[in-house]
Amino acid sequence: MNRPRVQSLGAAAALVAAFLLGAFAAFPWERLVETVLEEASRKAAPVGVRLDHGFAETISRFPPAVVVRDVSVANPLGSVRAPSLEVRLKTLGSIAATKPDLDIKSPTARLNVPGIRPLSLSGIAAGLRIGGAEAHLDSLSIGGDLSVSGTLVWSFDNRRLSFADLSIRAPESLKPGLNLLRFSTGLREEENGRWRLRIP
C-alpha cells in the first residue's frame, strides 16, 4: 500500500474518531437515564409500586455517569427514599442492544415501614441489567440498620420475582412484617436476626 493512501486512510479514521468522540461527549446521558427510570416506573405501576425521581445531571462522560436526585420507591408495605443515586454505564454495547448494563450506588437512604421508626441505610450498591422481559439486580449490597446482599431477578411479564438469593440482617422491629412475608415468599428466618430469601 502506497504512502498517500495510508495517509488518507489515517486521516479518514481520525475524522471518524473525532466525530464519534464529539457525539459521545454531547450525548444527553441524563435524559437517557430519566427515560430508563420512566420506563421502569411504567412497568412497576401495575403491581402497586411507585417510582419517583427528581432531576438528573451528568457528572462524567468518560465513562458516562449520571446522578439522579430524590429517588423514591414505594408500595403499600413501605418506601425507600435516597437523596441521590449515581448511575454509571458499564458497556456502550448494552445501550446499542437496548439492554442497559449499569452500576448504581447511593451513599444513604431511608426506609419507612408503617408502625416502626424509619431505618437508615448506607453503602447501597448493585449492578443492574435491564432486558426486554427482566431486570437483573446483581451484587446487591446494602448496609446500615438493615443489611441486604445477593441477587434478584424481576419478571416484567409475570410481575413478580422470578429468582432471588438474598441474605438479610434485620432489626427486631421488622420481624413481624418479615414473618408475614414468609407465607407468600421463600423467605426463611435463620438465626440472630438473619433471614434468607430464595426463589425458586
Give pLDDT, residue 141: 97
| Residue 79 C-alpha from the chain's centroid | 16
H or E stretch including 152?
Answer: strand 147-155
129 close to 99: Cβ distance less than 8 angstroms:
yes
All three cell numbers of 129, joined, read: 441489567
pLDDT at 89: 84
Phi, psi of 24 (to 5 degrees): -65, -45
Q: Is residue 141 part of a domain?
A: yes
Instruction: Judge whether 74 lies within some domain.
Output: yes
pTM: 0.80
**Domains of the chain: total:** 1
Is 7 domain-assigned? no
DSSP-derived letter for residue 37 is H
On whether residue 155 sits in a domain, the answer given is yes
What is the structure's pLDDT at 162? Answer: 92
pLDDT at residue 9 in the model: 59
Q: Whole domain around residue 178: which residue ranges?
A: 28-199
Question: Which grid coordinates belong to 55?
Answer: 432531576
Q: Is residue 62 part of a domain?
A: yes
Grid cell, residue 115, equals 408502625
Strand partners, 101: 129
Q: What are phi and psi of 118, to 5 degrees?
A: -60, 145
* E strand or H helix that includes residue 88: strand 78-89
Task: Report the pLDDT value the prediction gives residue 102, as an integer from 0 to 100.
Answer: 87
Helix (H, G, I), strand (E, B) or coil at 41: helix
In tens digits, the chain (200 residues) has pLDDT values of: 555 555 555 555 656 555 545 555 667 778 878 887 888 788 788 888 899 999 999 988 777 889 999 999 999 889 999 999 999 888 665 555 567 788 999 999 999 999 899 999 999 999 998 877 888 999 999 999 999 999 999 888 888 889 999 999 999 999 988 988 888 888 999 988 899 999 98
